[in-house]
Amino acid sequence: MLKPYIDRGEMVFWVSPADSSPKDPEELVMYGDWDGETGIEELRLPDHLPSQDKDKLLTVLKDYEIVFSNKPGKTNLAVHTIDTGSCHPIRSRPYTVNVKVMEEIKRELAEMRELGVIRPSTSPWASPMVLIQKQDGTIWFCVDYKKLSAITIPDAYPMLRTDSLLDCLGPANIISTLDLSKGFWQMALDPDAVAKSAFTTPVGLYEFTVLPFGMRNSPTTFQRLINNLLHGCEQFTMAYIDDITIYSQDFELHLTHLATVLGKIQQAGLTLKAKKCQLGLPEVV
């Protein structure tokens, strides 16, 4: 006797693309590398600098010590909107998740709630949570916004071309790169976008209060913010989304340029991830 067929839904332990990364950064939102609140002590000064130059560089950095934190800042210079026109809310069912990773999901959700980047939701919108295995065997907590992105009107704001950055760096003799701490999380969503950001998990429905990493238009919104932030500094800075490059022809001028940019970052309420910043180098890789 045949047993009746029961549709148990989709089962996901993890999704593991061949290259261990999503093909389109606008389709998945990734989290899961929060490593506590540390700051300036993680900065690495370049070995090639003379001791007196290291002291000068450290003086500038200490003047803006507040901007170096793994905890995302919060800017009031811009908010992100999601324009879906007249489309009705899209609602996806949660994937069934292997019990082996349930505790990991709960931990990630708890950490994001503690940071204030998500909250429980009653939104009619719902995108599914998925998991992706990294090369080291750990997992990324992700949200699949593919369906939402498909109905989102694109933002035509231009992104930086890599060759433009290389052209600017050509005559530079000293370079620093600054990396924002979970950059997108430092910009708020407007109320309508908060509702559209909602994602469904095996343990409930949540929504973002800040800009998710992989939605359509997330990169362009953030690029516009950073370009506006660096207005007036175009002769010695370029930025690609949340990575800022400062370049100068000599060390003393570079200290001035660095202080100018750090001051703007501080005024904007943004923070930098110290261990990912590279300072005072003759070149960057």
Print pLDDT tens along the chain (285 aa): 444 434 444 434 444 333 333 334 444 444 545 455 567 888 988 888 999 999 999 999 999 999 999 999 999 999 999 999 999 999 999 888 888 888 888 998 999 999 899 999 999 999 999 887 777 767 778 899 999 999 999 999 998 777 776 777 777 889 999 999 999 999 999 999 999 999 999 999 999 999 988 799 999 999 999 999 999 999 999 999 999 999 999 999 999 999 999 999 999 999 999 999 999 988 765
Closest by Cα among 128, 26, 148 to 84: 148
Q: What are the pLDDT digits (tens) for 30-44?
A: 454 545 556 788 898
CA dist., res. 169 & res. 94, Å (int): 47
Q: What are the domain boundaries of the chain? A: 36-281
Look at residue 2 in the predicted model and tell me its pLDDT.
Answer: 42
Look at residue 285 in the predicted model and tell me its pLDDT.
Answer: 59
Q: How long is the chain?
A: 285
Structurally, what CATH architecture does the domain formed by 36-281 represent?
A: Roll (3.10)
The secondary structure of the chain as a DSSP string is -PPPP-----EES-B--TTSS-S-TTTEEEE--------GGG----TTS-HHHHHHHHHHHHHTGGGB-SS---EEEEEE----TTPPPPB-PPPEE-GGGHHHHHHHHHHHHHHTSEEE---S-BEEEEEEE-TTS-EEEEEE-HHHHHTSPPP-PPPPPHHHHHHHHTT-SEEEEEEBTTGGGGEEEPHHHHHHT-EEETTEEEEESB--SSSTTHHHHHHHHHHHHTTT-TTTEEEETTEEEEEESSHHHHHHHHHHHHHHHHHHT--B-GGG-EEEES---
And the tokens for 115? 């940071």
Look at residue 18 in the predicted model and tell me its pLDDT.
Answer: 32
Look at residue 251 in the predicted model and tell me its pLDDT.
Answer: 95
Residue 207 phi/psi, 5° resolution? Answer: -140, 155
Cβ partners under 8 Å of residue 59, min gap 6: none
pTM: 0.82
Residue 228 phi/psi, 5° resolution? Answer: -65, -40
Look at residue 7 in the predicted model and tell me its pLDDT.
Answer: 42
| Exposure of 59 in the CB half-sphere (CA atoms within 13 A) | 9
Look at residue 260 in the predicted model and tell me its pLDDT.
Answer: 98
Look at residue 24 in the predicted model and tell me its pLDDT.
Answer: 44
Look at residue 243 in the predicted model and tell me its pLDDT.
Answer: 94
Look at residue 12 in the predicted model and tell me its pLDDT.
Answer: 42
The secondary structure of 200-262 as a DSSP string is EETTEEEEESB--SSSTTHHHHHHHHHHHHTTT-TTTEEEETTEEEEEESSHHHHHHHHHHHH
Look at residue 67 in the predicted model and tell me its pLDDT.
Answer: 96
